[in-house]
Amino acid sequence: MKHRLIITISIVIAAFSVAVPHATAAKVAQQLCGRVFLKSGETIATDDSTRIGTPNKKHGKMVIIENAFSHRAKDARFIEGAETDSVQLWSRTRTDRVRTLIYEPDYGWCWLLEKAPGLAVCVFSPKGYYLAGNGGMSAGNNAVMLVNKNGEIYQFEKTSKMADDTFRRQVASFVADDPQLQHEILGSRATRTVTLRMLGKYRPSR
């Protein structure tokens, strides 16, 4: 009986070691599939054995981890946020649901929600982000939303609240040269989050 128990435990441990990435020297939030696009033009992509270690601090480094599912796992490369253009991440089980992080120097790593000409709408969470196995991403507590309009950052808080007329007018002011979208924003009745995400429809001089 004792021998059977030992064999059973050994099988469980072996199975667990195959399914879960091994620890590396760097402290990372998660080990995920993805691509890192550098400002230099270089692209770093994961394969079957490589993973991207996402930072557990708002200004932390991305880590390229080789042999992630092996006892030979190692941190092959560290990438500063300022070096990146963007980072695409996905779960191994949901390759169709890609999430994008960008680095804003005054804040840190931000989750990109919408992008349009001269505009980006992001979530910034000081406590980071979590990508679930189903591909859904969530932000930590105290998250705020940011609008980057041609390099100028605007911060919005309490974004789960319903938008009022003052809020809608402020958001509509970002797209003054898109009358159709302005009209849609001003006439909307939605939360602040939904209202800000409407900026993704922006097409100048439409």
Q: In sequence order, which residues have a C-beta less than 8 Å from that of residue 100 and are 6 or more positions away? A: 86, 87, 88, 89, 111, 112
| Residue where the block lists tokens 């980072």 | 87
- The secondary element (H helix, E strand) that includes residue 186 is helix 179-186
Q: In this predicted model, what pLDDT tens digit does every residue of 109-124 receive, in sequence order?
A: 999 999 999 999 999 9
- The secondary element (H helix, E strand) that includes residue 11 is helix 2-19
pLDDT (mean) for 74-100: 95
- From 91, 92, 49, select the one nearest 73 (Cα to Cα): 49
pLDDT (mean) for 150-161: 96
Pairing of strands 129-131, 137-139: antiparallel
Q: What is the band of 206 on the pLDDT scale with cuts at 50, 70, 90?
A: low
Q: In this predicted model, what pLDDT tens digit does every residue of 163-188 receive, in sequence order?
A: 999 999 999 999 999 999 999 999 99
Q: Hey, what long-range contacts does 152-158 have (CB within 8 A, 24 or more apart)?
A: 153/104, 153/106, 153/107, 156/192, 156/196, 158/192
Give me the percent of the chain exceeding a pLDDT of 70.
Answer: 86
Q: In this predicted model, what pLDDT tens digit does every residue of 37-63 receive, in sequence order?
A: 999 999 999 998 999 999 888 999 999
58, amino acid identity = K
The DSSP secondary structure of 45-100, one letter per residue, reads E--SS-EEEEESSTTPPEEEEESTTSTT-EEEEEE-GGGEEEEEEEETTEEEEEEE
* pLDDT of amino acid 141: 85
| Confidence check: pLDDT of 15 > 50 | no
